[in-house]
Amino acid sequence: MARPRRCRYVQNEVGFDYFKPRGVAMDALQEVKLNVEELEAVRLKDLLDLGQEESALKMEVSQPTFHRILKEARKKIADALINGKAIKIHGGVYTMPNKDGTGPEGKGPRTGKGRGNCVPKEGESINSKKRCCGRHRQGNCRSG
């Protein structure tokens, strides 16, 4: 059985969730799904021009994990641009600012696939114990 993914820390909430090529009908489009943490990796590395180590620290993942997330995101974006596919930004296993499950500015839960709040206990970082997201070993996260 594969090991469950750890929560990734995403600092930026996107105000949209879909891009599509202009002039192509929705029913004729193929779709590429981009996870929220993949978009965050692209934002940190390509838009903010941070190094991989600094970006990995901001997302609270290892540098190799950050590289894999970024590589997959770039592959999906290239596929969509070159092949005229829509990009749907949705899902993933992540948590957002405030670390209390409310997302940025208390706008409501932003927890990817709905697997709990990914909220650490008092004084812990998101991934300081075994796992989070409410679907892993009990006692590592507060459920909300």
What is the model's pLDDT at position 4?
Answer: 75
Average pLDDT estimate for 123-140: 45
Please give the Cα distance from 144 to 72 (Å, whole number): 31
Which contacts qualify for 56-64: CB closer than 8 Å, 24 or more apart? 58/9, 58/11, 59/8, 59/9, 59/10, 60/7, 60/8, 60/9, 60/125, 60/126, 60/127, 61/6, 61/8, 61/127
Contact (Cβ atoms closer than 8 angstroms) between residue 123 and residue 140: no
Over the stretch 42-79, which tens digit does the pLDDT of each residue have?
A: 999 999 999 999 999 999 999 999 999 999 999 999 99
Report the predicted TM-score, pTM, of the whole model to 2 decimal places.
0.68
pLDDT in tens, 7-25: 888 887 778 889 999 988 8
In this structure, which amino acid lies at residue 53? E
Write the single-letter amino acid at 35: N
**What average pLDDT score do residues 108-129 get?**
47
Tokens representing 12? 């930026």
